Structure 1
Amino acid sequence: MNIGAPILVFFAVLLLVLGGLILIESGRGDRRLRTRIKEMGEGPAVAGARDLDLIRLRRYSEIPVLERLLSAGKLGEAISLFLLQANVSMSVGAFVLLSLTLAVSGLLIGAYVGRLAIATPILFFGLGAIPFLVVARKRRRRLQRFMEQFPDALELIANALRAGMALSGALRIVAHEMPNPVGGEFWVATEEHNLGLDIKESLMRLNRRVDIPDVRFFVTAVVLQRETGGNLAEILDNTTSIIRDRFRILSEARVLSAQGRLSGVALVLLPIVMTGVLSVIAPGYLNILVTDQAGKYMLGACLVLMVIGILAIRKIVRIRV
């Protein structure tokens, strides 16, 4: 089904508006940051002239309507934490506008092609989900690097405690000696503590930013030791040993499940490859799936079953230790 020129112009203008809002969203945040740094550099007299609160005000967007929508529930906070865990500097408002722009682009492409009704929602949700998928991949890889570096950080903290250093000093050593992302996250925790936050609250914030079981074990051990006493260095040594044993078991499990993962990839790619091959050797063989109504239903059912199969295989081969 073809669409008229007015609708195409409407979608084009909508894309331009969304793109302009993304530029505005990014530019205003940079100007606010430069203005704030300038005010801080002018000294406390200028800063104190305004009614500045020590509590950091969180703004998800520079656009008032979008700010109200994101602040109404927990969506803005969830997306903000999602971007923070992936170490993405984009604001929440710009991220949402980028997703909307890609989604509207998919809607425009699907409506313009118009051969297959199911293509429009697939392109709409598929392109709109690209920013989430990219950030999720960065988040997963960053958390994986953190988990790989974390046992060494715990060992460094335990050695520093045995040498007579306080916990805050041990955390500062990790912040300076360990590479990112472990070093960066511990640097944030030590800076929060230096600015007056309790060490327990700083570690709880660390646990929120890096939501993995190993960090929860570490924070729980530190909190319990500060409340009940005990040898924290020995506790951290035991925790390090448990984490490394878990990594060893997980590596063995991944080796044993490698065949299942490869089988899942082959089963997913086989229909796509066969469709391409048939389109080359017999160009009109699959036209009935597009022209006939029953063929469209069959094609839609196949796509749904493929998605279900991908999720089922992923559930089977994904082993948690």
Structure 2
Amino acid sequence: MVLTFGIVLLIAAIALAGVAVVIPRTPTVPLDRRRPFRTEPDSQLTRFAGSAVQSIERFLAKRNFRYFNREALENAGLRLSQADFLLLVIIGAFVGALVGLVVAGPLLAILLVIAAPFGGNVVLGFLTGKRRTKFGDQLGDTLQLLSGSLRAGHSILRAIDAAANESQAPTSEEMRRVVSETSLGRDLLVSLNDTAERMQNEDFVWISQAIQINREVGGNLAEVLDQVNETIRERNEIKGHIKSLAAEGKFSAYILMALPIGIVAMLMVVSPGYMDKMITTPLGWIMIGASIVMMTVGGLWMRKIIDLKF
């Protein structure tokens, strides 16, 4: 047991070292004060990670690999290339294979290797959803900055630039991207619509439509944005009430889904031989299969009940 625990700790340390090498670090010295040359040579681990990333980049250049692409990484807010993230997934699969081989054998190792890419997609989806939610929460303050800059006499592009400088991430990143694309010759409305689609935010679509209408018919854009801001705040208030009312249903669903699994785990710990007939007889297998199907149907049903659309 001690040897197994030591092997797992060693594997985890190697994985953390690889992650620390691949993920870019925030420089402690400003860019304009850094020297153009390196005073210390790269370590063996850094050179190995760099060569691995270059090999993956050459492999991806010859194939159309759609997973973990640049757009997905940008939506998740990760400043990593496709090769960097793929290397992290490979390291995770390797560590999972070693842990599964040590703990339970080859079958668990194969399952963990297969689950590594799905785990990477889950992480990207979680980070993307969190970033989009944060963008929506900052939208009210963004509209106040835009309307204030317009009242001060600035143009809409200058107001967006001010919002990019004054806001926090991810709003600052998205606004700065709009300014950069517009400076390179892209139409402002196209950039705003792309931002709304990338963030999947209906409220930002309203902002883009308000700017488009103002450019076509004129008027006081600051007052229009104030009205949009008031509408968005009222919708967010209603959304908060709905979430609080649906929280009880979600908690009940979580308890009902976890209760059978918890009871089975408790019985296997308290009385190890109590569940033997469930896993050694055909009738037990049928009952387990029926239970899984019924729990899946019940879970989807409860999710449909508590997933309110407005």
Distance 1:216 1:68, change over 3 A: farther
Q: 1:70 is matched by which residue type in structure 2? A: N
In 1, distance between residues paired with 2:127 and 2:97? 26
Q: Distance in 2 between matches of 1:100 and 1:288?
A: 40
| Partner in structure 2 of residue 315 of structure 1 | 304
Percent of residue pairs identical: 29
Q: Note closer, same or farther for the CA distance 1:237–1:79 as it changes in structure 2 (3 Å cut).
A: same
Identify which of 151, 156, 170 aligns with 2:145.
156
Equivalent residue, structure 2, for 1:81? 71
What is the CA-CA distance between 1:230 and the residue it aligns to?
A: 3.0
Residue pairs, 1:210-221, within 5 angstroms: 210-221=199-210
User: What's the CA shift for 1:163?
Assistant: 2.0
1:70 equivalent in structure 2: 64
User: For residue 32 of structure 2, what is the aligned residue in structure 1?
Assistant: none
Q: CA deviation at 1:102?
A: 5.4
Q: Quick one: structure 1 residues 178 and 254, their matched pair in 2 at CA, closer, same or farther if it must change by over 3 Å?
A: same
Are positions 1:231 and 2:209 aligned together? Answer: no
Larger displacement relative to structure 2 (253-262 or 88-97)? 88-97
What's the CA shift for 1:185?
Answer: 1.4
Could you tell me whether the CA contact under 8 Å between 1:288 and 1:295 is conserved in 2? yes
Deviation at 1:301, TM superposition (A): 4.1
8 A Cα contact 1:158 1:232, kept in partner: yes
Which ranges of 4 or more aligned residues in structure 1 deviate by more than 6 Å? 103-108, 119-122
Where structure 2 has 5 or more consecutive residues not aligned to the other structure, the ranges are 1-14, 26-35, 37-54
Deviations 1:244-300 (CA, angstroms, capped at 9, x unpaired): 111111111112112101101101210121012101221111123333344334334
3-state SS of 2:138 partner? helix
Higher relative contact order (CA 8 A, sep 6+): 1
Q: Report what 2:155 is aligned to.
A: 166
Relative distance call for 1:185 and 1:228 in structure 2 (3 A) is same
Superposed displacement of residue 114, structure 1: 7.8
Aligned residue identity for 2:76: A
Query: Counterpart in 2 of 1:16?
Result: none
1:143 deviation in Å? 1.2
Aligned to 1:247: 236
Measured at CA, do residues 262 and 281 of structure 1 come closer, stay the same or move farther in structure 2, by a change above 3 Å?
same
Rate the CA distance shift 1:227–1:139 in 2: closer, same or farther, 3 A: same
Taking the aligned partners of 1:121 and 1:304, their CA distance within structure 2 comes to 25
Aligned partner of 2:155: which letter? A
Q: Which amino acid aligns with 1:171?
A: I
Letter in 1 for 2:243: R
1:124 Cα deviation from its structure 2 partner: 6.3
| 1:192 and 2:181 aligned | yes
Shift of residue 90, structure 1, vs aligned partner: 3.0
Aligned length: 268
Helix, strand or coil at the partner of 2:287 = helix
Q: Secondary structure at the match of 2:64?
A: helix
Aligned residue runs from structure 1 range 41-120, under 5 A: 62-70=56-64, 75-76=66-67, 79-96=69-86, 98-99=88-89, 109=100, 113=104
The answer as to whether partners of 2:146 and 2:163 remain within 8 angstroms in 1 is yes
Q: Which residue of 2 aligns with 1:262?
A: 251
Structure 2 partner of 1:279: 268
Give secondary structure in 2 for the equivalent of 1:320: coil
Aligned equivalents of 1:66, 1:292: Cα separation in 2: 48
| TM-score normalised to structure 2 length | 0.71
Which range is displaced more, 89-98 or 134-143? 89-98
Q: Is the 8 A contact 2:148 2:222 kept in 1?
A: yes
| CA distance, structure 1, for counterparts of residue 288 and residue 95 of structure 2 | 23
Cα offset, 1:69, TM superposition = 4.0
CA RMSD for the aligned pairs?
3.8
Change beyond 3 A, Cα 1:98–1:299: farther
2:196/2:202 contact within 8 Å kept: no
2:273 & 2:257 partners in 1: Cα distance? 24
Label 1:298 to 1:273 Cα distance change in 2 as closer, same or farther (>3 A): same
Name the CA distance, whole Å, in 2 between partners of 1:231 and 1:289: 72
CA deviation map 1:213-256 (0-9, x unaligned): 11222122212322333332222112111111111111111121
- 2:4 aligned residue: none
Relative to structure 1, the CA distance from residue 307 to residue 126 in structure 2 (aligned partners, 3 Å threshold; closer, same or farther) is: farther
- Segments of 5+ residues of structure 1 without an aligned counterpart are 1-18, 31-40, 42-60
Q: Is the 8 A contact 2:196 2:204 kept in 1?
A: yes
State the Cα deviation string for residues 45-71 of structure 1 (Å, max 9, x = none).
xxxxxxxxxxxxxxxx94444444435
> Given that residues 174 and 183 in structure 1 are in contact (C-alpha distance below 8 angstroms), is that contact kept between their aligned partners in structure 2?
yes
- Counterpart CA distance in 2 for 1:201 and 1:194 is 13
